[in-house]
Amino acid sequence: MISTFMVVVLLRLGAYEWTRSFAENKTYMKNVLEWHPPRMDTTLGQLENWGGEMYNFIHVWSWEKFGGSTGYDVHLWTIPVEYRCSMMLFLIVLGTARLRTGIRFLCLGGIVLFVLRSDRWEMVLFLSGMILAELDVMRGAHIPPAMAPTTSVLPLGEISNLRPKKTNSLLSFLLAILALYLMSCPDWEFGQTPGWKTLALFVPEWFTDQYRFWQMIGSILFVACVARSPWWQSVFNTDIVQYFGRISYAIYLVHGPVLHTAGYAIERWAWGVTGTDGWAYNTGFIVAAFVNIGLVIWAADVFWRVVDAPTVRFAKWLESNWFISD
Ligand SMILES: *[C@@H]1O[C@H](CO)[C@@H](O)[C@H](O)[C@H]1NC(C)=O
């Protein structure tokens, strides 16, 4: 809400108008013509329009594609999707909580097959997350090493059952690379792309977003493998990756507004220098990308410090004051 309200402010200041004709010009926008939010005649009209969109953003009454997306930042289409999936997941977690572990996995397996055949890749991902989380608990992945049973405490026979299970870290390391490949499935024409032609044959016909099929499987496999591979974990534990992890949500929220205002202006400047014919188009794009990526990271860092982190602290404060603790 805060980030889309910032879009309202930018719209009123005219920041989206500098780039409006550029945003709609096919000479520059060779891929998707991304929706550029319209400026209303009055601020009141803009606020009314924004309020309506924010109301619609809480889109729990239907599952249509991009249902609840807001024109103020089309990238945020995933928020209503995640919200709906979270609701379903809470229901499934509660509904299966008291089942015996084996029966729960059986039920979850059935539900995964059902949602998959129902063409709901997003629900497959959420359910897989639940399954992976429970597998992590079962194998003791969350037990800190210091608390893991040691030889001095228990007789030898019982140790093997209690120690976090050894996993094949080399296999996990390699499968994670395969998973990265699957996650890189091109969104367009992957059936014609070398390296993908054969894999494309395995995507069921009824699966609407064909390109998401291998991306979906890849992402599940990747999370499962990283959880079992010390090498991949050391990558994700480096300061730089941790930093990007912290600001990742802010990057997600600000990259749209930054690109549609300053970003497009910088691209226009870069293409003004390089031209747009043939390879010059790519050169201009790369030059602008260097500037724009830096700009997005900077804006995300500021947004994270000024909005994201305080919001999380506020939610924690609310939780400690408004919730009943036992
Ligand atoms: C798009 O931009 C090009 C290059 O600046 C310009 O020649 C052309 O008239 C523009 N097209 C439209 C539809 O505005």
Q: Which of the four pLDDT bands, split at 50, 70 and 90, describes residue 165?
A: low
| Predicted pLDDT of residue 160 | 47
Residue with the smallest CA separation from ligand 1 atom 14 is 25
Q: Ligand 1 pocket test: which of 25, 28, 276, 277 has the largest number of ligand atoms within 8 Å of its C-beta? A: 25
Q: How far is the CA of 176 from the centre of ligand 1 (A)?
A: 45
Residue with the smallest CA separation from ligand 1 atom 7 is 27
Continuous segment of H or E residues that includes residue 115: helix 101-117
Q: What is the pTM of this model?
A: 0.86
**Dist. CA 7–CA 303, nearest whole Å:** 13
Q: 84 burial class (0-12, 13-18, 19+ CB within 10 angstroms)?
A: buried
| Predicted pLDDT of residue 25 | 85
Q: Summarize the confidence of residues 111-132 as an average pLDDT.
A: 97
Q: How far is the CA of 218 from the centre of ligand 1 (A)?
A: 41
CB 95 within 8 A of CB 57: no
Torsion on CA atoms 269, 274, 278, 279, rounded to nearest 10: -110
Instruction: Specify the amino acid at residue 134.
Output: E
| Predicted pLDDT of residue 158 | 45
Q: If you average pLDDT over every residue of the chain, what do you get?
A: 90
Tens of pLDDT, residues 209-250: 999 999 999 999 999 999 999 999 999 999 999 999 999 999
Q: Summarize the confidence of residues 277-306 as an average pLDDT.
A: 95
Residue 109 has pLDDT above 70, yes or no: yes
Tens of pLDDT, residues 181-191: 999 999 999 98
Which ligand 1 atom minimizes the distance to the CA of 25? 1
Q: Which of the four pLDDT bands, split at 50, 70 and 90, describes residue 167?
A: low
Share of the chain above pLDDT 90, in %: 75
| Predicted pLDDT of residue 45 | 93
Q: Summarize the confidence of residues 291-299 as an average pLDDT.
A: 97
Residue 200 has pLDDT above 90, yes or no: yes
- Among 285, 241, 240, 246, smallest CA distance to 267 is for 285
Q: Which of the four pLDDT bands, split at 50, 70 and 90, describes residue 256?
A: very high
**Dist. CA 266–CA 15, nearest whole Å:** 13
Q: How far is the CA of 67 from the centre of ligand 1 (A)?
A: 33
Task: List pocket residues of ligand 1, CB cut-off 6 Å.
Answer: 21, 25, 27
Residue with the smallest CA separation from ligand 1 atom 1 is 25
Give phi and psi for 98, each to the nearest 5.
Answer: -95, 5
Q: 81 burial class (0-12, 13-18, 19+ CB within 10 angstroms)?
A: buried
Residue 153 has pLDDT above 70, yes or no: no
Q: Ligand 1 pocket test: which of 27, 36, 274 has the largest number of ligand atoms within 8 Å of its C-beta? A: 27
Q: Summarize the confidence of residues 26-37 as an average pLDDT.
A: 88
Give the least confident one: 32-36, 212-216, 258-262: 32-36
